[in-house]
Chains A and B, each alone.
Chain A
Amino acid sequence: MSDGVHRDGIAAGRLSAEDYAINFSDLHPPLSAHEARVEADRCYFCHDAPCMTACPTSIDIPLFIRQIVVGNPLGAAKTILSQNIMGGMCARVCPTETLCEEACVRETAEGKPVKIGELQRFATDAAMTANRQFFARAQPSGKTIAVVGAGPAGLACAHRLSMHGHDVTIYEARSKPGGLNEYGLAAYKATDDFAQAEVDYITAIGGIRIEHGKALGRDVTLDSLLKQHDAVFLGIGLGGVNALGASGDEASVAAVDFIETLRQATDLAGVPVGRRVVVLGGGMTAIDAAVQAKLLGAEEVTICYRRGPEQMNASAFEQELATANGVVIRHWLQPKKVFHNGGPDVTGVELEYTAMRDGKLVGTGETVSLLADQVFRAIGQTLDGVSAAGVTLTDGRIAVDAGFRTSNPKVWAGGDCVRAGEDLTVTSVAQGRDAAESIHRALGA
């Protein structure tokens, strides 16, 4: 193994097959029935529960936990899925420590919240294992809706529209559905091809057809969709990646591309990674890229972020996960230059120290250079302007009203492509769901 880790440059197969299997196993193994019961017993069944308020999809958490306590996991699953059809993935990827679990009164009482996320997984796993569907379609409405993007927002929207009796066609640019669940999350958060299993579970309601290889602006246009359908929902995410604004930028790799390559690899031993990796950015994507680079066998992985730990978008839990895996997080550093040999081979990165002066982030002039074979940029993503043509934007994202309707009265949008809420799976699900309700009301009017 050590040979593999110490091999210079970018290389695949740094670890043994066994190490890959261990490193990329489930981050939180599922609770056993006993563990779930013991944990569920800790819930106080609060009035107007703070956890429920903190959940972007407003799942009735005390109720579903009580249903687990009394041996009714399928009832618990229905409680969850009726608010959040992606309750299974959200149980795995939600930053619960800044949402429901932060609000848990047992966090106040003892500093140990009820493990709501893991209990949610227990319940949703029970329903998916039993292949139990809880929702039936209403009488056919005769309406058809185009959903663009088979990510969390699009799938949640499609499911709710189907429940209301509408027929849905999802136009998806990629070859697989799931969006970031399939392409953009760390592998250890959604093992065993869970993203695809969940899409199958969601679409099993019927009335949802997915057309792959159909990108908006490339293969279909908003006008053509509006001609064929009664309404359009845009759940197109953020297709662009921000540039570093540093020289040698072209030698860096978008962290999302690295994560996608890793997620789609059939054999992790075939995924190359540098001996020394530098990740630039401070969000979840930076953490996912850095931790997975380390787990692939990189000897040194350093996250460099231009501000302090409090400003990182990655939660405290994610930051701890990174450091626990041997990733070094350095703050107050911004990239100046990516060193490379004139070709694609990176040799290092030069960074400038930063500081807050009069409320503004400024470079101090002092620099430091780090050796690196691979530089990942994870400093934010942007809306792909081509696919969003035809609707008004605000601050670089699609402008929507409270019902997620865009400037075009027949077009709705939700998920990361709109400027509302945090860029989280759970937020996207809530927006897709709520947009579907808005569409349903509009079509019925």
Chain B
Amino acid sequence: MADIRNNFVGIKSPNPFWLASAPPTDKAYNVERAFKAGWGGVVWKTLGEEGPPVVNVNGPRYGAIWGADRRLLGLNNIELITDRPLQVNLQEIKQVKKNWPDRAVVVSLMVPCQEESWKAILKPVEETEADGVELNFGCPHGMSERGMGSAVGQVPEYIEMVARWCKANTRMPVVVKLTPNITDIRYPARAAKRGGADAVSLINTISSITSVNLDTFSPEPSIDGKGSHGGYCGPAVKPIALNMVAEIARDAETRGLPISGIGGITTWRDAAEFMALGAGNVQVCTAAMTYGIRIVQEMISGLENWMDEKGHKDLSSIVGRASGNVTDWQYLNLNYIAKAHIDQDLCIKCGRCHIACEDTSHQAITANLNGARHFEVKDEECVGCNLCVNVCPVENCITMVPLAAGVLDKRTEKPVVADYANWTTHPNNPGATCVTG
């Protein structure tokens, strides 16, 4: 059986599945339930500084978009950091950690951008025996208007400064949670590393408006007829998060910096993908908020079964395995040629591949054969774009089949070349450094 025990910057947990800092980790009641269900760790919902707690809106906090059958694909929220008294949270954290010594309990923090404020919050958190802290530089809504959350995360100098303060004032590992609401995720990640952070976690939520009420013309979620951008999360953001994790994992300056992967993780497969791209563990929120916390059971067994099937003994044998395969476009092999192939036995003849190709791509799929409905790829037209694969409702019905070296590509009427060749050496590239042949 695969060993899925996790050691993330020295924080140990029985599995790599943590609940992210969010509503599911706002109090002992939920966290206790999560640990009973099997979660490896939690990042406690963000604490603010001592004093009157923040207040939340009293109307809707969440907006959403849905796919077919009203499957929730994306969720946004305008909830702020914990609105419970600091002391209550600290007491509960201490008790929960005592009850569950084998689980990871990390505490998310967000206080004003002054060293004294950070110093003041770190001390009592340390006293709870929590395993680490996560600096919330990510939340794009509400707190950012007060100079916190993503307002810090959008300025690399602030990230570095605060990370440094925290490292100087606590023995606990410091994880910096990054906002995706920037143009290049590598800059804040580099800043966190320069500031001495032990790790980064990403992504936090994306600034968003989920919908507009067409009766009232108010954005959703609507508070008395008005709306404010919220933080977007859930399956819809996973591709954005995967890319940002990969960018940090392969950046020369940040390579090797531990990453806790976050963003739309719903299944074991999502988790494995994040880890393959370089995340040391993962954090989950929306999936738990959609289906309840017991989804972790599927995540654990799915990950174990896959690792057993593939012979991966422990997490270190999968983390980062895909990062080396993320490259720049210019290094992709232009001699690699694939053609779509439709399995006629699996085809249900919906014709979506045909119309997608016909209307919007390369006119490379037939609709008829001898007067009967028949969908088949025309190799002489197919550029291998994969659109048909993506729109086909039957899994594995259409596949991309690579052409072997020497085989004639009917589209170009040239044989497939075995050698690797990319844009940097392509004759059409005016800036090509090394033109061969």
Chain A positions within 8 Å of B, measured between CB atoms, are 37-38, 41-42, 44-50, 105-106, 108-109
Contact = CB atoms under 8 A, between A and B. Distances in A.
Nearest to A110: B348
Contacts of B349: 46, 50, 105, 108
A46 to B, nearest CB: 4
Interface string B67-111: 011100000000000000000000000000000000000000000
B201 to A, nearest CB: 35
A41, A47, A49 — most chain B CB neighbours (10 Å): A47
B68 A41 contact: yes
Nearest to A48: B351
Interface string B344-364: 000011111011000000000
Contacts of B354: 47
B348 A45 contact: no
B223 to A, nearest CB: 24
4 nearest CB pairs, A to B: A47-B351, A47-B355, A41-B68, A46-B350
A70 to B, nearest CB: 12
16 contacts: A38-B69, A41-B68, A41-B69, A41-B70, A42-B68, A44-B393, A46-B351, A47-B351, A47-B352, A47-B354, A47-B355, A47-B367, A48-B367, A49-B351, A106-B348, A108-B348
A268 B32 CA distance: 63
Contact of B350 (A37, A38, A41, A44): A44
Given A42-B68, A46-B350, A47-B354, 12 more contacts: A37-B70, A44-B352, A47-B355, A47-B367, A48-B355, A48-B367, A48-B373, A50-B373, A105-B348, A105-B350, A106-B348, A108-B349
B394 interface: yes
Of A37, A49, A106, A109, chain B has the most CB atoms within 10 Å of the CB of: A109
Nearest to B358: A47
A50 B347 CA distance: 14
A105 B351 CA distance: 10
Contacts of A41: 68-70
Contacts of A45: 352
Contacts of B394: 109
Interface string B315-352: 00000000000000000000000000000000011111
A45 B350 CA distance: 8
B350 A47 contact: yes
Interface in B141-184: none
Contact of A46 (B68, B69, B70, B352): B352
A63 to B, nearest CB: 13
Contacts of B68: 41-42
Interface residues of B, number: 14
A35 to B, nearest CB: 12
A37 B67 CA distance: 12
Interface string B269-296: 0000000000000000000000000000
A50 B367 CA distance: 12
A106 B352 CA distance: 13
A42 B71 CA distance: 13
Of A49, A105, A108, most B-chain CB atoms within 10 Å: A105
A46 B349 CA distance: 8
Contacts of A46: 349-352
Interface in B377-435: 393-394
Contacts of A47: 350-352, 354-355, 367
A428 to B, nearest CB: 28
A189 B394 CA distance: 35
A106 B354 CA distance: 18
A49 B349 CA distance: 9
Most buried by A among B70, B349, B350: B350
Interface string B41-74: 0000000000000000000000000001110000
B168 to A, nearest CB: 55
Nearest to A69: B68
Contacts of A38: 69-70
B146 to A, nearest CB: 39
Contacts of B355: 47-48
Nearest to B69: A41
Contacts of B373: 48, 50
A46 B351 CA distance: 6
A48 B352 CA distance: 9
Contacts of B393: 44, 109
Nearest to B365: A47
A37 B351 CA distance: 23
A47 B352 CA distance: 6
A45 B351 CA distance: 9
A11 B312 CA distance: 78
A50 to B, nearest CB: 7
A146 to B, nearest CB: 41
A48 B393 CA distance: 16
B352 A109 contact: no
A46 B69 CA distance: 18
Contacts of A108: 348-349
A108 B349 CA distance: 9
B431 to A, nearest CB: 42
B10 to A, nearest CB: 47
Contacts of B351: 46-49
A313 to B, nearest CB: 27
B348 A109 contact: yes
A37 B70 CA distance: 9
B48 to A, nearest CB: 41
Contacts of A49: 351
